[in-house]
Copies of this chain bind each other. A is one copy, B any other.
Amino acid sequence: MAIQNAREISERVLPLAALSVLLLFAILLLSIIRASIFGEVEPEKHIYFEIVFLLLLAVVGELTVNYLKQPSVMILMILGMLMSASFLNLGFGFLSSLPLPFQIPSTPPDILRMEGIIHVFAQLGAVILLFKVGLHNKIERIFAMDNLVVATAGVILPFAAGYLYAISTGGNFAYSMFLGAALTATSVGVTVAILKEFNMLEERFAQIIIGAAVIDDVLGLLVLSFVINISAGAASLMPLITTFVSATVFLVGSVLAGKYFIAYLDRKEMSPRRFLLALAFMLMYAYLAEFIQLSAIVGAFIAGVILNQSRHIKELEEKTYGLEMLFMPIFFISLGMLVDVNALATYAFPIIILTVLAIATKIIACGAAGLWAKLKAKEALMVGIGMAPRGEVALIVASIGLSTKVLSVSEYSIISAMALLTTFVVPPVLNALIKKKG
């Protein structure tokens, strides 16, 4: 979809961009007029506006890809950031302070505050993304020794570094353990989306990233369970054993149960009923994974890997296209919307240190393990970078810390900013490395 020449830009891109802006403007105007005349827009009607707005943002993102030559994932995240509550507040505050001939309100209109449905759609977007990645993966390739080594290295070093950093800056024991746990997390959604965009999912280093990320999620869960237990003052090993057993039961059980499902699914041609069942299968695995505290995306990925053995794989791929198109861009936009511009400014120094620490430890540990697995130097580096995003997994760890009062609000803000920054840094770096490579 690269732009060929200037004529094509004026013919194809500009009219569409103009149309998008016009449409956005028209909706916005109508909404504001309506809201000011009739009061608030009812929540049910709000929903269409939200989805339309997000889809048009996704289109704008697609257009910008042509100009900026950056992965659409990153552009969507940046667009999301521009839509975040903290950024909108700043922007409207600034605009209202300008000496303009008309008065701009100092807070953004409610209709611009994307809430409610967006989180559900974002979750479904991540689930469908990993499901479709799973569809192209074989089970043997995930639980390989190389992946286990990369994942283990990528858990031990960041945990140790996070713990030592916190202790050395005067943090107490519980806080230090939580910081270590937050640094072990890996959120592979963004990395996978970029590798998919560049058609690199079949390369060996990409396979190592995906496999290691799944194992990392299990290891990270064990670490979190251990940390919660320790920081609560208990010394029992039981919760750790429970967590390990339930993760194992899920992983082994889901593969076994999956065999029966495939046998049923492949008995006849694809039908609406079979498609509904495949969707239910994917979502149930996501649910079960969340249920035992793994991430939903790991469950969806496992469901995809199981359906990889179905003869209906091509149809499943095609028929989920609309779902992917609707939900996936919203996932990346929502990641951007989580950014809190105020926290970034207030705690700039610790956030930068922690982010550098988070990225460096994953690059060193996973990169070294990648070299051990006989990857080329640049591929090992890409494994390290690819495993660096902490994303929503670290956000979950931080929110548990906040709710159990182990973390203060400022510590929570710092950790969640690190989680998002490590995610934001990955797309441009991975993009540059891939372009250099090929």
Q: Which chain A residues have a beta carbon within 8 Å of chain B's beta carbons?
A: 1, 12, 15-16, 19, 23, 27, 30, 34, 44-45, 47-49, 51-52, 55-56, 58-59, 62-63, 117, 119-120, 123, 260-261, 264, 267-268, 271-273, 275-277, 279-280, 283-284, 286-288, 290-291, 296, 318-323, 325-326, 329
Contact = CB atoms under 8 A, between A and B. Distances in A.
Nearest to A56: B280
B123 A267 contact: no
B275 A325 contact: yes
B287 A52 contact: yes
A283 B52 contact: yes
Contacts of A58: 276
A423 to B, nearest CB: 19
A286 B48 contact: yes
B48 A296 contact: yes
Given A30-B291, A52-B280, A55-B283, A62 B323 contact: no
A1 B272 CA distance: 11
Given A12-B268, A319-B321, A322-B321, A273 B59 contact: yes
Contact of A44 (B123, B318, B329): B123
B284 A48 contact: yes
14 contacts: A1-B271, A16-B273, A19-B260, A23-B280, A23-B284, A30-B291, A47-B123, A48-B287, A49-B287, A51-B283, A52-B280, A117-B120, A275-B325, A279-B325
- This chain's copy number in the assembly: 2
A301 to B, nearest CB: 14
A331 to B, nearest CB: 14
Nearest to A279: B55
Most buried by B among A51, A63, A260: A51
Q: Report which residue of A261, A267, A321 has the largest number of chain B beta carbons within 10 angstroms of its beta carbon.
A: A321
A273 to B, nearest CB: 4
Contacts of A23: 280, 284
Nearest to A66: B273
A64 B52 CA distance: 36
Contact of A322 (B51, B264, B322): B322
A283 B280 CA distance: 25
A272 B328 CA distance: 12
A120 to B, nearest CB: 5
B320 A280 contact: no
Given A44-B119, A44-B123, A279 B326 contact: yes
A276 B120 contact: no
